[in-house]
Amino acid sequence: MKTPCLICNATQWRSCYHGSIRMGSFGKKSPDDLNVWECGGCGSRYLPPVMADIEAYYKSGEYRDDLSQGNAVDEYFRLTDNDQPHKLELIGMHEMRGKIVADIGAGAGPFLDLVKGLAAKTIAVEPNQCYHDSLRQRGHEVYTWAQDVPSALAGKIDVAVSYSVLEHVESPLTFLQDIRKLLRPGGTLALSTPNADDWMVANSADYAAFFYRKVHLWYFTATALQRLAELAGFVTCDVTFDHRFDLSNAMVWMRDKRPTGNGKITFDPALNAIWRESLIRQGQSDYLYAILKAPA
Ligand SMILES: [Zn+2]
What per-residue confidence (pLDDT) applies to 247? Answer: 96
d(CA 189, CA 223): 17
**CB-based contacts of 157, cutoff 8 Å, min separation 6:** 100, 101, 102, 123, 182, 183, 184, 187
How large is the average pLDDT for residues 261-269? 95
What per-residue confidence (pLDDT) applies to 61? Answer: 83
Q: What angle do CA 278, 271, 204 make, to 5 degrees?
A: 60
Task: Determine the distance separating the centroid of ligand 1 and the alpha carbon of 232, expressed in angstroms.
Answer: 13
What per-residue confidence (pLDDT) applies to 249? Answer: 96
Coil, strand, or helix at residue 273? helix
- What mean pLDDT, rounded, does the chain reach? 95
5-14, pLDDT tens digit by residue? 999 999 999 9
Task: Determine the distance separating the centroid of ligand 1 and the alpha carbon of 237, expressed in angstroms.
Answer: 17
Nearest to 190 by CA among 84, 286, 261: 84
Strands (E), the chain: 13-19, 34-39, 45-46, 100-104, 121-125, 141-143, 157-163, 183-194, 218-219, 236-242, 287-293
d(CA 68, CA 101): 30
Residues 141, 123 contacting (CB under 8 angstroms): yes
What per-residue confidence (pLDDT) applies to 51? Answer: 85
Task: Determine the distance separating the centroid of ligand 1 and the alpha carbon of 32, expressed in angstroms.
Answer: 25
What per-residue confidence (pLDDT) applies to 130? Answer: 94
What per-residue confidence (pLDDT) applies to 109? Answer: 98
What per-residue confidence (pLDDT) applies to 52? Answer: 83
pTM of the model: 0.94
Task: Determine the distance separating the centroid of ligand 1 and the alpha carbon of 110, expressed in angstroms.
Answer: 33
Task: Determine the distance separating the centroid of ligand 1 and the alpha carbon of 255, expressed in angstroms.
Answer: 36
How large is the average pLDDT for residues 217-224? 98
d(CA 61, CA 72): 10
Task: Determine the distance separating the centroid of ligand 1 and the alpha carbon of 228, expressed in angstroms.
Answer: 8
Strands (E), 215-286: 218-219, 236-242
44-78, pLDDT tens digit by residue? 999 999 888 888 888 888 888 888 888 899 999 99
What per-residue confidence (pLDDT) applies to 66? Answer: 82
What per-residue confidence (pLDDT) applies to 190? Answer: 98
108-134, pLDDT tens digit by residue? 999 999 999 999 999 999 999 999 999
